[in-house]
Structure 1
């Protein structure tokens, strides 16, 4: 099945590593013109080399709404339009249970919710006017759907992101834009949390996978990228307001 992403302009935030980098590479392989955004210039340069093609890089901290608007303006100036927005900024790192402060809640929500809403707000004017062929995909987490031991701040922020995606589906549809989220489960990337956990205690990880995950393995960034690419494509033209779980059967509710 061809995804019909050739020559579409896609902006991926959090694109310098892990899931974001895999998404950028997959979209580029499907023929999209990809703009990669992240906070670190050196990591972005390495990501551009990995993605290849006509990829451009943009250093931006999109937890700042002003920076988000400047990023979208830069992409608009370069390509003249924006067809696909991937909101991938986020992190599950937080404080131990019972140590949550107002400042910590603010930090985690900025990273896992406002980074996405800032980008959506900034991109809407440039993306509006399509016939459903413009798409936004937010990277959420199954931690926003069930209490799985993740920090409560992360749980709350991702749950809010899921609700935001559902709530925006109707108003964005009136502007010709679809919006969905992908909720990954446990994903193994070279510098990610699960690589560290495996290095520390492989038997404990294997035990968790046997008990809790139907497929009994970790996922890969590329597997998440494939789901995202489909949702971003015209092939998903009748899908909006959905939170698509890709977790190897961990929730299986």
Structure 2
């Protein structure tokens, strides 16, 4: 039987072992591959052309949904996970994919399930199970999800270290602001979407200017800041000027 997840239809792979946490992260029919929408209802900025192209849609699993917190989990066998939970759903990111689980009945704690894949937690402990494997996890670090109030005009925020860099994608137009080399270089450039795969929760952007080429790859995967350890729902790779910058990011809903 086939199913249509908001992410890769691949299982959670238990790193360092042959076990697989299988299970299809299917969603309700009306939510299948539904991307998040940029805030297109807002009026254009003063002086902007109304014919200016709008910012693209992005895969839903770049975003924490309605959850206000992102939580990192350290698991055995060795694997690190990120979750964002509400009463309506749990979004779960691993090194190999992203999944969306719905609430399930449980005697104590909180439990979410989709197909064979389930996530149960109580306090600082969690168990992730499927028909073929189990992870025993401990809560490590939580951080507040980024909001539009904190990042006005931004649909997606990414950053990395050594050297420090930041990328902000505008919420109303296909435009990227790149801040590189610890802030020594800053440029705002148009971009175009070359790959958009909602099922795989993956997106590739390329520069809209031939004289300043760049490529930005976004994937819904568990990501942790290399200095602080803060959890994020997306891995980001920026290629520009023959250099490659790696870091983490999060979609920011209106």
- What TM-score does the superposition give when structure 1 sets the normalisation length? 0.31
| Structure with more of its chain in helix, by fraction | 1
TM-score computed with the length of structure 2 as normaliser? 0.31
Which of these two proteins has the greater Rg computed from alpha carbons? 2
